[in-house]
Structure 1
């Protein structure tokens, strides 16, 4: 239940040529407190409720609990979410032993593209594609919960 991930800005859209899959995601937050965010997500034909805890000092690891729920339940819970619904397309790109999840944001976060990679260990090595830019792991302004409150287009 501990999630270890690193986040990077993406420097070009060439990642789309490498994507094996893409899925539309809509998500909102019932709670955006950094110590315990509660997210509702509709991902394609599936929906989830997720609770995330506060991250460690580097921002690479934090508690995460997720449970699948009915899409109809998620749609009802979205009505209770805080202001600022996130809309994005997630592209999945396999590279070596890992999969990058690249999120292209829309709406008030348009023009923002972030890549995430989940790891087994904080010090694990991984391949870095040419389109991977500056690392933003641990920078809270890039957390979806914060993007819902202070969108990228307002920076």
Structure 2
């Protein structure tokens, strides 16, 4: 139940031609405390409730627990979430034996595109595609829980 993940900004739309899947995601947060984030998500036609713990100092690892719930339950829980819903499309791209998840954001986070890759080990190496830009692993402003409170459109360019 430990998630090991690295995050990167995306510098082009080239990932779209390589994607084997894409899904619309709507999510909100019941709690955005840094030590325990509780997320409600509708991904396609599935609902999920997720609890994430505090990240390690390098931002690579943290506890994650997820449970599938009905979309009806997720819709009800979204109504009581903190302000700031995240709306995005997630594209999945397989490179070697790993899958990059690329999130293209809408609404208040329009213009932001972030790629994530989950690893088995913090020291795992992987091929970096040309559309992968600056690494932002551990930079809290790129966490979805923070984007819900301080969206991309409010950042100073």
TM score, norm. by length of structure 1 = 1.00
Match of 2:50 in 1: 50
State yes or no: 1:8 paired with 2:8. yes
- Could you tell me how far apart the structure 2 residues matched to 1:14 and 1:68 are? 31
Q: Following superposition of structure 1 onto structure 2, how do residues 6-155 of structure 1 map, counting pairs within 5 Å?
A: 6-155=6-155
Equivalences, count: 155
- Could you tell me how far apart the structure 2 residues matched to 1:105 and 1:123 are? 29
Q: Aligned to 1:55, what secondary structure does the other structure show?
A: coil
Q: Aligned to 1:68, what secondary structure does the other structure show?
A: strand
Shift of 1:25: 0.1
Q: Aligned to 1:108, what secondary structure does the other structure show?
A: helix
Runs of at least 5 residues in structure 2 that lack an aligned partner in the other structure: none
- Could you tell me how far apart the structure 1 residues matched to 2:126 and 2:57 are? 21
Shift of 1:153: 0.6
TM score, norm. by length of structure 2 = 0.98
Runs of at least 5 residues in structure 1 that lack an aligned partner in the other structure: none
Shift of 1:97: 1.2
CA RMSD of aligned residues (A): 0.3
